[in-house]
């Protein structure tokens, strides 16, 4: 069985073959763990996500569609989404001693993290507030629902009484604007950033 492709192993997993799942685990656990650790920045949390992902794969093997991508890609998507949701959950409970919106920025927007670390909490909050002002009211709302309430895009769309497609468009437009804002800000020195937002 060790010589089977990932896709063939997934077929075995669909049939309840735990050995096939074990082989998939041995092939991909490092990748899944690295994704979880990078997102969560905590080894113990990453280990929990690693276990959760493979348990979920075993339970929901029927959902895998080879026509939509490789098993590896499917596993990576599972790892990212579960890790990201866990990160938001932990941020809401002050696990990182930062606001949920700041955690969302760390994950989604990139930018010059070293400059942000050198800023005071007050300066960083002012910067974040300025970034949110670049958004429309609906874009602000969906970011708040996802960052502060820990909702998924679909759940946030329903809360806003928007279709999933419309909510997703608001969300990704917001991310694009915020990436641009924080990317531009990241080109400035910490001193310049403080001057602009003081």
Q: What tokens does 65 get?
A: 């569609």
Residues 123 and 38 occupy one common structural domain: no
Of 25, 60, 92, the position where a domain reaches its end is: 92
Residues 134 and 184 occupy one common structural domain: yes
* pLDDT computed for residue 83 by the predictor: 87
Cβ neighbourhood burial of 108 (10 Å; 0-12, 13-18, 19+)? middle
Residues 78 and 128 occupy one common structural domain: no
Residues 37 and 107 occupy one common structural domain: no
Query: Helix 71-92 and helix 43-59: axis angle, to 10°?
Result: 130
Q: Phi and psi (nearest 5°) for 2?
A: -65, -20
* pLDDT < 50: residue spans in the chain: 107, 109-117, 186-198
Of 92, 124, 147, the position where a domain reaches its end is: 92
* pLDDT computed for residue 152 by the predictor: 74
CATH assignment of the domain containing 157: 1.10.10.10
Residues 177 and 193 occupy one common structural domain: yes
* pLDDT computed for residue 50 by the predictor: 93
Q: Report the length, in residues, of the chain.
A: 198
Residues 77 and 118 occupy one common structural domain: no
Q: What is the extent of the structural domain holding 139?
A: 100-197
Radius of gyration of the chain (CA): 20
Number of domains in the chain: 2
Residues 45 and 76 occupy one common structural domain: yes
Query: Helix 18-40 and helix 43-59: axis angle, to 10°?
Result: 140
* pLDDT computed for residue 149 by the predictor: 62
* pLDDT tens-digit readout, 47-99: 999 999 999 899 989 988 888 889 998 998 888 888 888 887 776 666 665 55
Residues 124 and 171 occupy one common structural domain: yes
* pLDDT computed for residue 22 by the predictor: 93
* pLDDT computed for residue 111 by the predictor: 44
CA distance linking residue 39 with residue 108, whole number of Å: 10
Residues 17 and 106 occupy one common structural domain: no
Of 35, 60, 92, the position where a domain reaches its end is: 92
* pLDDT computed for residue 23 by the predictor: 94
Of 88, 59, 56, the closest CA to residue 75 belongs to 56
Residues 136 and 81 occupy one common structural domain: no
Residues 113 and 59 occupy one common structural domain: no
Residues 87 and 166 occupy one common structural domain: no
């Amino acid at each position: 069985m060790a010589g089977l492709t990932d896709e063939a192993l997934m077929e075995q997993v669909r049939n309840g073959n735990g050995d096939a799942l074990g082989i998939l685990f041995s092939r991909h656990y490092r990748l899944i763990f690295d994704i979880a650790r990078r997102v969560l920045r905590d080894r113990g949390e990453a280990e929990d996500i690693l276990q959760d992902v493979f348990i979920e794969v075993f339970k929901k093997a029927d959902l895998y569609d080879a026509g939509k991508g490789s098993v590896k890609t499917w596993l990576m998507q599972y790892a990212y989404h579960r890790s990201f949701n866990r990160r938001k959950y932990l941020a809401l409970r002050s696990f990182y001693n930062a606001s949920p919106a700041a955690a969302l920025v760390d994950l989604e927007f990139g930018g010059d993290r070293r400059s942000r670390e050198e800023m005071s909490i007050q300066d960083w909050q002012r910067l974040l507030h300025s970034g949110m002002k670049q958004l429309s009211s609906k874009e602000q709302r969906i970011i708040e629902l996802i960052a502060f309430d820990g909702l998924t895009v679909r759940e946030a769309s329903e809360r806003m009484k928007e279709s999933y497609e419309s909510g997703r468009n608001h969300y990704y437009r917001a991310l694009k604007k915020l990436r641009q804002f924080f990317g531009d800000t990241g080109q400035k020195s910490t001193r310049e950033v403080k001057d602009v937002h003081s």
